[in-house]
Amino acid sequence: MPRRIFKFDTPDRFTIGTVGEPGHRTFFLQARDGPRLVSVVVEKEQVAVLAERMGQLLEEMRRRGIDVPLELPATRRDTEPLDEPLIEQFRVGSMILAWDGEEGAITVEARAQREEEEEEPDEEIDDEAAGPDALQVHVSAEAARVFVDRALRVVAAGRPPCPFCGLPLNPEGHICPRRNGHIH
C-alpha cells in the first residue's frame, strides 16, 4: 500500500480531543481545512509532550522577537467538540516538531506506528518514498498557542494523579507501587 501524506498548510482548525470517559479515553489529533478533515489517534503522553514542547518552542520564538501571544483571550479558546465524521486514519508512532523561521510558523508531523523502525525519526519525509503514513500540519504561532491551550486542558481533564506515585487514580483506587502494592 503506498504511503499517504496528509498535508495542511495553515488549516482552519488544528486541535486535540478525546472520545470516551477518563481512564478509557481515545485521543485524536485532528486537522481540518474546509471540508477536508483528517483525524489520527495519539496517546495521552504524546499529547502532553507535544503541548510542552510546542509551548517551549513558542517561548523561544518570542525570545527571538517573533510576535507570539503569551495568553489567549477567552474568545480565542477552542472549546468545540472534535469535527465529525471522526474516522481514524492511523495511530501515531512518532512526531516531529519544527520551527519555520522564515514564516514564523510551526510544523507538526505525526507519523504512523510501524512494526519496525526502518528510518530515522528526524528524516525529512519524502512524498515518493515508501514509509509510514504521515500528517503534516503547518500552523501560525497564534494557532499553535490555541492548540497548546486546548491540549493542556484536555490532558488535565483526565483522572487525577495519585499523590504518592503520580499514576492515574481510578474511582475505585489503584495498586500503588509506592505503597508496596496497597490500594490507594
3-state secondary structure 162-179: CCCCCCECCCCCCECHHH
pTM for this model (two decimals): 0.81
- The 3-state DSSP class for residue 15 equals strand
With CA atoms as reference, report the closest residue to 70 among 78, 62, 79: 62
Quote the pLDDT of residue 126.
54
* pLDDT tens-place values along the chain, 184 residues long: 689 999 999 999 999 999 998 878 999 999 999 999 999 999 999 999 999 999 999 998 888 888 787 777 778 889 999 999 999 999 999 999 999 888 878 999 999 998 665 555 545 555 556 789 999 999 999 999 999 999 999 998 888 778 888 777 777 777 888 777 666 5
CA dist., res. 116 & res. 10, Å (int): 32
How confident is the model at residue 163, as a pLDDT?
A: 83
Determine the pLDDT at residue 52.
97
Q: Which CATH class is domain 5-179?
A: alpha beta
CA–CA distances in Å: residue 166 to residues 42, 160, 169: 21, 9, 9
For residue 40 the three cell numbers come to: 489520527
So what's the pLDDT on residue 184? 55
Domain boundaries, the chain: 5-179
